[in-house]
Amino acid sequence: MTDFLVIGAMKAGTTSLYEDLGRVPAIGRSPTKEPGFLLHDRSTVRLREQYTRNQPDESTLLRDFSTMYSIEELHPGVPTRGRDVFGSDLRIIYLVRDPIDRALSHHHHWAVRGLCASSLKDALREHPEIVGASEYGRQLAAWQAVFSSDNIRVVVFEEYVRNRLGVVADLCAFLGVDHHGVSTTEPDQIYNQGGGNRVAAGRLGATLRHPLYAEFGRRLIPGAVRRGMKRVILRDGSARPEMPQRLRDDLRSTLLDSTTAFADEQGITSSCWPTLQGS
């Protein structure tokens, strides 16, 4: 059994995978999906202690599903910290999705939380990392520079949706755990799809998403109290907007070459991502 990180990509199925793998007895469901401990340049001892506290129990693997780990331009140094904390045997799982659809979902996810402009055009200009997170080859290169290719598994979101149980079983084999119990996964349930979710925006949202809240707040505040707070303070997320065709064409031009190279390297068929073919 080997500790692991799911490094993203944001809006590419990491929440569903968190739920699915959490049903595997040898893995379990950790208290916090995205503790994000490796985003901070802390001592190796302290980081290891934080991960141990986020374990379901001592018999399960240490893990982290923090999607910011694959936005290297915002958080450099994460792969090296991961190796220092977990060792060179650490397993890396990277979910990828149609890069244009992922960028659109990423923008919506941030916009309804007040983290970027509601105008897609303005947001992409002010936050190039929204598109940068879809440059999968470049993001993964930072991890490939630190870990062996045998330690890294790329999962295509569209294939995961079509074959949830098969992908989870394959990942269990990759992690060296028995996938007994994987049949309890809910194959028709996709988590955190975005449209209509209730979210906290502005400073309040930033506070609730802060790693210190993830580490201490959720353990110190009783669950009933937290659920009551959510009913009062969360607002409905708006419907996801359509991307203007001209902007979609611009993104396709920006991402086509790098995505094609990444897909070729990983053996991903281009038919998985129709927006790159202009359809």
Report the 3 state secondary structure along 35-57: CCHHHCCCCHHHHHHHHHHCCCC
- Give tens-digit pLDDT for 206-257: 555 555 555 555 556 665 555 555 544 444 455 666 778 899 899 999 999 9
Cα–Cα nearest to 86, from 191, 204, 7: 7
Mean pLDDT (whole number) for 89-97: 97
**DSSP alpha helix (H) spans, 211-278:** 211-212, 218-220, 223-233, 245-266
Residue 58 pLDDT exceeds 60: yes
Q: What is the DSSP letter of 237?
A: P
**Which amino acid does the sequence have at 222?**
P
Q: Coil, strand, or helix at residue 102?
A: helix
Residue 57's pLDDT is: 79
Q: Coil, strand, or helix at residue 96?
A: strand
Residue 275's pLDDT is: 82
Residue 199's pLDDT is: 44
Please state whether 181 falls in left (phi above 0), alpha (psi between -120 and 50) or beta.
left
Cα–Cα nearest to 69, from 146, 169, 124: 146
Residue 184 pLDDT exceeds 50: no
Q: How far is Cα 245 from Cα 277, in angstroms, rounded to an integer?
A: 13
Which range is least confidently modeled, 112-126, 185-199, 264-278? 185-199
φ, ψ of residue 199 to 5 degrees: the values are -135, 160
Which superfamily, per CATH, for 4-197+237-259? Answer: P-loop containing nucleotide triphosphate hydrolases (3.40.50.300)
Residue 1 pLDDT exceeds 70: no
Which tokens hold the place of 175?
């992690």
Q: Which of 44-53, 77-86, 270-279 reaches the highest mean pLDDT?
A: 77-86
pTM: 0.82
Residue 241's pLDDT is: 67
By the 8 A CB rule, do 68 and 96 touch?
Answer: no
176 Cβ neighbours under 8 A, 6+ residues apart: 1, 2
Please state whether 8 falls in left (phi above 0), alpha (psi between -120 and 50) or beta.
left
Q: Could you tell me whether strands 235-236 and 91-96 are parallel, antiparallel, or unpaired per DSSP bridges?
A: unpaired
